[in-house]
Amino acid sequence: MYTFSSKLKTLAFVLMVVGALGIGYSFFTAPKSAEEVEAIINAEHAHGGHGEAAHEEAHDAVEVHAVHDEHAAHAEAAHEGHDTAAVAETEATADTVTAVAEVATEHASTTGHEESHAEAAVAHEGHDADAHAEHEAHKEHVEHVYHQLQNKPWAAVYVAALFFMLIALGALAFYAIQNAAQAGWSPVLFRVMEGISAYLIPGAIIVLILLVLGVAQVHHLFIWMDPEVVAKDHLIQGKTGFLNGPFFLFRAVVFMGGWILYRQIAVKNSLAQDNATDNSFYKKNFKASAAFLVFFIVTESISSWDWIMSVDPHWYSTLFGWYVFASFFVSGITVIAMVTLYLKSRGYLEYVNTSHIHDLAKFMFGISVFWTYLWFSQFMLMWYADIPEEVVYFKMRIENYNLPFFGMVAMNFVFPVLILVNTDFKRLSWIVVMAGIVILTGHYIDFFNMIMPATVGDQWFIGAGEIGAVLFFLGLFILVIFSALTKAPLLAKRNPLIEESKHFHY
C-alpha cells in the first residue's frame, strides 16, 4: 500500500494556496468598468508618445516648413484651421486625443509637401467626419478590450481546469486501450493509471461548473451563449440548433457522466479481480473498456467542439477532435510515466523496470509525433487553401500569439523527437522526466493557444492568473491522484497478464 508522503501533501496544499491567491489577484485586478479600461488605454497611448506629444511635433513641423515654403500662406491657413478644430475637439471629449493626434500627423505631412491648397483643404474637411468615425471606433475598441480583460481571469482558470481534467481523461483512455488490447506489459502500471484517472471526477465537476457559469452569463468565454451577440450574428443563429445552453449542458453531463461511469466500473472490477477466484471481472473490464473506447471517441470529438472549438463559433475544423485528443492523450501518458517514476523512486513499484519506462517513453515519443502530424495537417490545409473564413483562426494566432504558437511546436515536437529518439535515453529517468515536463508545458500552451485568442485576443499575458490557475489545479491534481493511490495496493494481483507484465523485458 502507498502512503501519501506528508511532504508531497504539503506541497500540494502550498500549490493550491499560492494558485488560489494568483487566481484571486487576477480577478481582483481585472477592470470593473469600461471607463477603467479607457484610462488604461489612454495612459498607454500618452506613454507611447502619441497624444499631446505627437500633436506638438506636428505643429512644429508645419511651422518650420511654412517659413521657407512657397505655399507658406496656404499652409499657415490650413494650420490655423486645424488648430481650432483640434482645440474644440479636445475640449469636447478627452478621448479623441488620439484621433486628433493622428489627424495632426496626417495634416502635417499634407502641408509639409508642396501640395496645392485645395488638396490640403479637402483633407482638412474630411477630418471632422473621420474624427467622429474614429471616435465611434475608439469607443467600440474600448468596449472590446474591456470584455477581453474581463475574460482574462476566467479564461486562465478555464484553460487550466480543462487541461488537468483532460490529462486524467487521457490516462483513462490509455488504461482502456491497454485493457482492450490485452497488453502484456502494462498491468503493473494499472493502479497508477487508475489513480491518475481519479482526478476525472473533481476535474469534470469543476469544468462543468465553469460551463454552467458560462451559460448563466457569469463569464463570457463563449460568445454564442450571449443572446445579444446571437441576435446580431447570422452565422451563430444558424448553429443554435447545436450551440444552445440547455443542449450544451446536457451533452456535457452525458459525456462526463459516461467517462466517470466507466472509470468507476473499471476500478471496481479491477479491485474485485484481486480477490476473485476466476477471471470474470477481468472479462467484464475487457468488455467495458471496448464499449468505453467507442463511446469515448465519439464523445471526445463532440466535447472538443463544445468546450474548445465553440469559443470561436465562426470557425470550424474537421480534424479538431483528433487534434485535441492527441494533445491530451500524450499529456496523459506523460503523467503516467512521471507518476510511475516518482513512485518507483520512492520504492513502491517493485516490478516496474526500465523496460516499462522505455515503453511509456516510446508512447510519449510516438504520440508527440502524432500530435504534430495533426497540428500540421490542420494548419497546412488551411494555410494552403487560404480560405478567409477558416484562415482567420491562424492569422490571429500567428500575429498575436507568435511565440506560443510556434514555441509549442518546438516543445511538443522538436524537443521530444530529438531527445526520445534514442533508445538508451528512453530508459533514463531524468531524461524521461525532463522530456515530460517540456511536453506537459508544451501541451498547456497548446490549450492556451486554443482558448485564449478567442476570449482575450491580443490582451493575453502569462501572469498571476494563468500561472496561479495552473498551480492551483496542479496542487489539486497531486492531492487527488496520490490520495486515490493510497486506496488500493499498487499491484493488481490476479490480473491474468500480471505475471507477464512483472517479467516484461524489452
Interface ranges with another protein (CB under 8 A)? 376, 379-380, 383-384, 386, 421, 423
Amino acid at 483: S
Rounded to the nearest whole angstrom, what is the least distance from the CB of residue 383 to another protein in the complex? 5
Rounded to the nearest whole angstrom, what is the least distance from the CB of residue 386 to another protein in the complex? 7
Q: 416 and 409 in contact (C-beta within 8 Å)?
A: no
Give burial (CB, 10 Å; 0-12/13-18/19+) of 231.
Answer: exposed
Rounded to the nearest whole angstrom, what is the least distance from the CB of residue 397 to another protein in the complex? 14
Q: In this complex, which beta carbon is closest to another protein, that of residue 290 or of residue 381?
A: 381
Rounded to the nearest whole angstrom, what is the least distance from the CB of residue 314 to another protein in the complex? 23
Rounded to the nearest whole angstrom, what is the least distance from the CB of residue 316 to another protein in the complex? 20
Q: In this complex, which beta carbon is closest to another protein, that of residue 247 or of residue 376?
A: 376
Short-list 216, 221, 109, 203, CA closest to 163:
203
Q: In this complex, which beta carbon is closest to another protein, that of residue 377 or of residue 429?
A: 377
For 63, 171, 190, 450, the CA distances from 194, given in Å and listed in that order, are 78, 8, 6, 28
Grid cell of 349 as nine digits: 513499484
Q: In this complex, which beta carbon is closest to another protein, that of residue 384 or of residue 430?
A: 384
Q: In this complex, which beta carbon is closest to another protein, that of residue 246 or of residue 388?
A: 388
Q: In this complex, which beta carbon is closest to another protein, that of residue 343 or of residue 409?
A: 409
For 127, 494, 505, the CA distances from 54, given in Å and listed in that order, are 17, 79, 72
Cα separation, 65 vs 43, whole angstroms = 31
- How is 312-352 classified by DSSP, letter by letter? STT---TTHHHHHHHHHHHHHHHHHHHHHHHHHHTT--TT-
Count CA within 13 A, CB hemisphere, residue 308: 26
Rounded to the nearest whole angstrom, what is the least distance from the CB of residue 376 to another protein in the complex? 7
Rounded to the nearest whole angstrom, what is the least distance from the CB of residue 390 to another protein in the complex? 15
Amino acid at 47: H
The helix-helix angle for 190-197 and 117-180 (nearest 10°) equals: 140
Q: In this complex, which beta carbon is closest to another protein, that of residue 53 or of residue 380?
A: 380
